[in-house]
Amino acid sequence: MSVFVILPAAGIGTRMASTGGAPKQFLTLKGTPILLHSLRAFLAVPRVTAIYVAVRKTEQARVASLIAEHQLGDKVHVVTGGDSRQDSVAKALAALPSHSAGDIVLVHDAVRPLIDPGTIARTIDAIEKHGAAIVGTPAIDTIKQVERTADGAIITATIPRELIVHAQTPQGALVSLMRRAFSEAAADEFIGTDEASLLERAGVSVVVVQGHARNFKVTQPGDLEIAEFYLAG
């Protein structure tokens, strides 16, 4: 069994405008690019066979240089990403040298740098047992369902918190199931919000692995300070 990891990192990161326009994955956290923090977390899991970083063509040399400079080894590969996250993952999926029915693929946001090896290992275990899994955290706030009107949102229902989880990454499945889900989505021109939405649509049951609040996605300038705080212990 092989375990492959895909890090879609072709995004531009427009919400980080105050950082000078640099793509989020290249911003530094404790002096190290965010992307490298994410890569190192997966490299710390012995069962990970290979990692595929999907980036824009214009960034490929930059990423390859980072990998070489920090001596990350030959497990890390750079592939061309697409215009959207779904396109990037699809291109990386096509590049995987998967030949076994038991092979697993995990997809992780490159800008979730605080994922820990223990959570990654539990996600792999869950996929081995169930076929597909994502990392998620329980809802803490009360969740309201609303109807959008010209005068604003009107509450139509209160959703019990025990029925809600906040999705994180990694999200993964057996390679065969993930490829089928992406193929069916492409055939129907369906764009999902994450990998799990494509798997769900393909009729695949997805289990939830307990995540952690620190495994958040860096999307706004203030998030860097929060990540620095967590890294400080």
Token pair in block for residue 105: 């693929």
Instruction: Give the model's pLDDT for residue 233.
Output: 76
User: In this structure, are residues 187 and 83 in contact, taking their beta carbons and an 8 Å threshold?
Assistant: no
Q: What is the pLDDT of residue 22?
A: 65
User: Looking at the predicted structure, is the pLDDT value of residue 26 above 50?
Assistant: yes
Question: Per the structure block, which two tokens stand in for 112?
Answer: 């979730």
Contacts of 62 (CB under 8 A, 6+ apart): 26
* Alpha-carbon gap, residue 219 to 233, rounded angstroms: 21
**Strand 3-8 relative to strand 50-55, pairing:** parallel
pLDDT for 18 beyond 50: no
Which domains does the chain carry?
3-231 (3.90.550.10)
Which residues have CB under 8 Å from 228's CB, separation 6+? 29, 30
Which pLDDT score is estimated for 99? 81
Structure tokens at 144: 């309201």
Residue-wise pLDDT tens digits, 158-205: 999 999 999 999 999 999 999 999 999 999 999 999 999 999 999 999
State pLDDT tens for residues 63-110.
Answer: 999 999 999 999 999 999 999 999 999 999 999 998 899 999 999 999
Integer Cα distance of 122 and 212 in angstroms:
13
Rounded to two decimals, the pTM is 0.92
Q: Are 175 and 5 within 8 A, CB to CB? A: no
How far apart CA 164 and CA 142 sit, in angstroms, is 10
**Residue 171 CA: distances (Å) to CA of 1, 53, 71, 220:** 18, 15, 27, 22
- Give the model's pLDDT for residue 17: 47
Q: How far apart are CA 97 and CA 50, in angstroms?
A: 10
What distance in Å separates the CA atoms of residue 141 and residue 166, rounded to the nearest whole number? 11
